[in-house]
Each structure stands twice: as structure tokens, then as C-alpha cells.
Amino acid sequence: MRVLVTGGAGYIGSHTLVELLGQAHDVLVLDNLENSSPVVIDRVNALTNGNLEFVEGDIRDDAALDTVMDSFRPDAVIHFAGLKAVGDSMEQPLSYYDTNVRGTIGVLRAMDKVGCTRIIFSSSATVYGEPVYLPYDEAHPTNPTSVYGRTKLVSEHIISDWANASGGTGILLRYFNPVGAHASATLGEHPDGVPNNLMPFIAQVAVGKRKALSIFGDDYETPDGTGQRDYIHVVDLARAHVAAVNFAQGAKGAKTFNIGTGQPYSVREMVAAFETACGKDIPVVVAPRRAGDIAAMQADASLAKAEMGWAAEHDLNDMAASTWAWQSANPNGYED
């Protein structure tokens, strides 16, 4: 298939490119490099057959989208491009609605013009909000608590409405917490500034960039008192996109899938796995709970297995070991 990947130079996108090219799909990336580097494209080419096409451009630029669609004529679009920092989204809501929602409308309009009928969309478990029950299944009520989460939920509705009206196919993938890096240690996550997520933070403590990890609350009702989350290895997540592209060929309308492991790990378990991977102690400081944090959450990911034949294969040790290999080989991300 010919697959256009928006935001393909980013963390999840880059790992997905490797898996798509490995399955002999033709792939073109459209990315404005706002949160990524052109080095990613070279590294993906080095890991694969080197046939990746790249166009630097913005999904909010209708003319750029039309040009790419017209020349590439995709069979499917994987739409990663977007802004993703929850805290930032509360301070800059219009910017988040503009990129994440208007950008999605622009992508759908450009697809319509060339008759492309399939889109795979990066949604998030954050659309669920506070758990009414656990594990979250796809029927769980949605009630996002951040602007970021609302941009994802609105985009899901837009894609569903578009698919139903046009006879197209929208696969909405609700990711849990992506972590880890490519086994080659040449692709991984390199957050700007202070990492928002646990694993990159632990990794930066391990390489000496930060002094200690703050554990926000160790008195939750979990086995060791620290918060539990459902972490998913980025390579498993990347493979879920390949499964979704294949599934989309035989599907119509919108379909939502949780993409997680169903196995939650606590902060202390993550730290212990990382200590084993890097052979060092990770200093931790216990701090008060943060407002809005919940004790535990995990996915029911059985639907993705039943319908797309996809399930996560990597365990916690793979997540920690690959993150450490990437972080220690690339302490400054793609600037090395």
C-alpha cells in the first residue's frame, strides 16, 4: 500500500516507518519538524531499504497537503502530526485546537480531493478521563480532563462523522503510555526540556542529567503505594499501526481500539526495571500526590487482538533496556 504518514519524523512515527517499510509498503512522510529532526529520516533509511520519501511541510498548510496528496496518491494516511503536551495545552488551547483539530480537518479534506478513503488516527487513553471502571474498554465513557484530551476526542468525532458520511474508514487508536526505543538504539524519544513522562525522566536521571526522580505519592491503594500505568513498547505500538493499515482495507466506517498491554506497572516497578537495565541506582524522592493523578489505570486491549490480530509482545524489561540503550548512546537525542 502507499501510506502517507503525517508527523512521521516524531517518536512513534519514526518507529512506525521502520515497521511499514519492513512490510514493503511505500511510505511518504509529511512533517514540519517542529518536534523532530531530519536525522530521523536518515536513520530510518539506514535501518530499512532506504526508500523513504520525506516532505517538510505543515498539516495546516492546505496547499502543501494538496501537493503531497496529488503527487503521492496514498491508499491510506497514518495521522500522527500534532501537539501532545497536556500542561502546555491548558496554556495554549487555541494552538492545540488549531494543530490537532483544524489540522485533522485539513488532512481529511485533502484526502477527499484525491479519493483516499482510509485514515489511522493517533488518539489517546486520555480521552477516557477519570476511570468509572477498570480496565478501560472502548465503551468506557469519555470525559477528558485537559485541552489536549479534548482535541483528541473532537478529532475522533470528526473522523467518525467523515467516515460515516463518505463511506471511508477511520481507525482510532487510543494509545496508553508509549515507552522504549528501537532495538538498534538509533531511534527513540528525546523530549525537549523537562520530560513529562516517567521513563524519559528516569533515563535522564540514569545518565546524570537530573539528580533524582520525584515519586508523586506513595500512599495510593496499589500494591507498593505508587501509581500504576499501562506502558506499551513503542515497537509494539508501531506494529499496531501496520495491523491497522491492513485491517482498514477490509473495514468501513469508524472503529476504535485500545492499544496497551493490559498489564499495569507501578512507578517503583519501572524504577527497579531501569536499575536492572542500566546497572545503577536511580535516586528517588517521595513528593506529595499531584492534583488530578489517579491511582491506577490499564487497558482492556482484547478488541485489537480479536479484530486486528494485534497484541503487545514486549515486556517491562524490553522497555527499560531499550530506553537505556537509546539514552546512553544518544544523550543529546538526534544532536549527537
Ligand X SMILES: NC(=O)c1ccc[n+]([C@@H]2O[C@H](COP(=O)([O-])OP(=O)(O)OC[C@H]3O[C@@H](n4cnc5c(N)ncnc54)[C@H](O)[C@@H]3O)[C@@H](O)[C@H]2O)c1
The single residue among 3, 52, 59, 65 that binds ligand X, judged by CB under 6 A, is 59
User: What would the x/- binding string for ligand X be over residues 86 to 125, using CB under 6 A?
Assistant: -------------x---x------------------x-x-
- Least distance in Å: CB of 183 to ligand X? 18
Enter the C-alpha cell of residue 182: 528501537
- In this chain, which of 5, 13, 111, 226 binds ligand X, going by CB under 6 A? 13
197-236 mask for ligand X (x: CB under 6 A)? Answer: ----------------------------------------
Tell me if residue 148 is catalytic: yes
Closest CA to 320 of 328, 312, 310, 330: 328
Cell reading at 132? 468509572
Shorter beta-carbon distance to ligand X: residue 95 or 224:
95
The answer to whether residue 19 forms part of the interface with ligand X (CB under 6 A) is no
Q: How far is the CB of 15 from ligand X (least distance, A)?
A: 9
Looking at the DSSP bridge assignments, the partners of residue 76 are 3
Smaller CB separation from ligand X, 240 or 308: 240
Buried b / exposed e over 301-316, threshold 16 CB at 10 Å, is: bebbeeebebbbebeb
Query: Which residue has the closest beta carbon to ligand X?
Result: 10
Does residue number 187 form part of the binding site for ligand X (CB under 6 A)?
Answer: no
Helix (H) or strand (E) holding 127: none
Give the footprint of ligand X on residues 260-299 (CB under 6 A): none
Residue 92 CB, nearest approach to ligand X (Å): 13
Pairing relationship of beta strands 253-259 and 169-175 according to DSSP bridges: parallel
Separation of first and last alpha carbons in the chain? 34
Residue pair 229/304 in contact (Cβ under 8 Å)? The answer is: no
Nearer Cβ to ligand X (7/168): 7
Is 35 a binding residue for ligand X by CB under 6 A? The answer is yes
- Distance from the Cα of residue 140 to its chain's centroid: 20
Residue 149 C-beta: closest distance to ligand X, Å: 10
Stretch that binds ligand X, among 7-15, 136-144, 225-233, 303-311 (CB under 6 A): 7-15
Q: Does 11 bind ligand X (CB under 6 A)?
A: yes
The active-site residue out of 148, 175, 231, 334 is: 148
Ranges of H-type helices in 10-143 = 11-22, 39-47, 62-72, 86-91, 93-96, 103-114
Q: Compare residues 196 and 223 and give the one whose CB is closer to ligand X.
A: 196
Per CB under 6 A, 144 contacts ligand X: no
Contact between 39 and ligand X (CB under 6 A)? no
Instruction: For ligand X, give the closer residue by CB, 238 or 325.
Output: 238
Q: State the DSSP string of 250-305.
A: T--EEEEEEES-S-EEEHHHHHHHHHHHHTS---EEEEPPPTT--SB--B--HHHH
DSSP codes of every residue in 196-219: SSHHHHHHHHHTTSSS-EEEE-S-
Question: Closest Cα partner for 40 from 190, 178, 203, 231?
Answer: 190
CA atoms of 108 and 72, how far apart (whole Å)? 15
What is the identity of the amino acid at 240? A
- Site mask for ligand X (CB under 6 A), range 60-79, x = bound: x-------------------
Binding-residue total with ligand X (CB under 6 A): 26
- Binding residue (CB under 6 A) for ligand X from 4, 10, 104, 231: 10
Task: Find out whether 122 and 12 touch, Cβ atoms under 8 Å.
Answer: yes
- Which DSSP state fits 330? -
Instruction: Catalogue the active-site residues.
Output: 148
Binding residues vs ligand X (CB under 6 A): 6-7, 9-13, 31-36, 58-60, 80-82, 84, 99, 103, 122, 124, 175, 178
